[in-house]
């Protein structure tokens, strides 16, 4: 996997997580999103702008409890479709990783069993 492919995959996962969080709590500020996701405020801003440009989310103004104007981030129908597509790709990749790990664990267990059987008792 090239560095560009790896970066795209990471960004895709970050977008998926961001879309999940926005879907659950649309009134979160970018600062709250940054804190919740463990990403810099600049990265959150970049991801949100990208999602807005792609038409996956929209930002509406509203007055929060402090009477300040804030944004309400909402997934668009296209955003819901994209979230579903990313989720399917993510699930497929994680299942492949899981199967590889299961095979590796089986192989390691066989190795350990063989080693246990070949070592004389008392050693």
| pLDDT value at residue 21 | 95
pLDDT higher than threshold 70 for residue 16: yes
Q: Is 122 left (phi over 0), alpha (psi -120 to 50) or beta?
A: left
The residue with greater pLDDT, 122 or 34, is 34
pLDDT in tens, 27-79: 899 999 999 999 999 999 999 999 999 999 999 887 666 666 788 899 999 99
| pLDDT value at residue 17 | 94
Inter-residue contact 82 to 54 (CB < 8 Å): yes
Inter-residue contact 33 to 72 (CB < 8 Å): no
Q: Which domains does the chain have, with CATH numbers?
A: 3-94 (1.10.10.10)
């Amino acid at each position: 996997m090239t560095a560009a492919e790896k970066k795209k995959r990471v960004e895709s996962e970050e977008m998926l997580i961001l879309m999940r969080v926005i879907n659950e709590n649309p009134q979160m500020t970018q600062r709250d999103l940054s804190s919740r996701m463990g990403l810099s405020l600049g990265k959150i801003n970049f991801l949100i702008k990208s999602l807005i440009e792609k038409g996956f989310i929209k930002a509406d103004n509203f007055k929060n409890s402090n009477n300040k104007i804030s944004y309400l981030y909402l997934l668009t129908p296209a955003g819901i479709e994209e979230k579903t597509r990313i989720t399917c790709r993510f699930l497929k990749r994680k299942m492949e990783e899981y199967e590889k790990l299961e095979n590796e664990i089986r192989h390691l267990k066989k190795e350990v069993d063989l080693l246990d059987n070949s070592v004389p008792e008392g050693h």
